[in-house]
Amino acid sequence: MKLGIIGGGGLLGATAAFYCAVNSLVDEIVLYDIRENMAKSHSIDIGLAAADLSDTIVREGPIGDLKGSDIILNAAGVPDKIGSRDDYLSGNIGIIRDFGQWVQEWNDQPVVICATNPVDVLNYKTFEFSGLPREKCVGLSRNDLARFKWAVSSETGLSPRSFDAFVLGEHGQFQVPLFSSVISRVTGEKVLFTDRQKESILQKADAWLGEYQGLNAGRTTGWVSGVNIGYIIELIVSGKDEACACSVIADGEYGLYGLSLALPVRLGPEGVREIVKIDITDEENAALTRAAEKISGLIKGC
């Protein structure tokens, strides 16, 4: 299986490539970046690091070498900065438009993972510009779950590995952490929270991102994103029967149409196998609707 990465010279592209290479998730990884020297540098470095661990081939190449990829990760974007993810829209929409044109010219049907912010809007635009079926377009939103699980653990003392959960909605201000979905892997029962705990958990998750951005380090959350992208690729390659939340194109699911946002899905080599229906509370459903309204407005504006 072949993985192509646009933005392979950047932090997200390189960390995802490293994770996939050392874990032997695919047979070949091709890194493309407008900074050819950076893509080449990462391909040499990752290839050597993985040589004794994996048979995955890692190389750099021009954009045309991504033709024939089974999976394409679009991790290209304008430089990271302090502010809302929506602030990247005007700078990144052109990247998505160019990518859509390339896919049409290649006449391929890859599964595309969009990791370019604002993910929900640009995943929908990937679907629109490329002409790919909606099941082929998957947006990275799993970082929200990582922060939510970390905050739950920080508040309750539970190990993040001891429970499952979902975060739906927008990859941004209008994300919807589902407290009702937190299930113990030990007992199989729901984990219950007081109102005070819920408020504290939400504050912790929000503060984590604010503190990170406040460092003004000029880099995005590359290692977190790399691991979570790798997890999505692993589910696509393996077809494992495991539900996770990704930004996907809704066509009636949860009463939503004509947009992309995080919903529970099952993935496989064909992309999105199923958008999974789970029970959510009225309050969570209302929050999901608010997220959809915000994303729809941004899509219509670009």
CA–CA distance, 124 with 183 (Å, rounded to integer): 30
Is-catalytic flag, 42?
no
Cα-based distances in Å from 80 to 136, 154, 186, 258: 27, 27, 39, 28
Under 8 Å between Cβ of 158 and 186: no
Of 171, 250, 262, 267, the active-site residue reads: 171
End-to-end CA distance of the chain: 34
Find where tokens 């994996």 sit: 54
- Residues 201 and 207: their CA atoms lie apart, in Å, by 10
Q: Are 56 and 27 in contact (CB under 8 A)?
A: yes
- Residues annotated as catalytic are 171
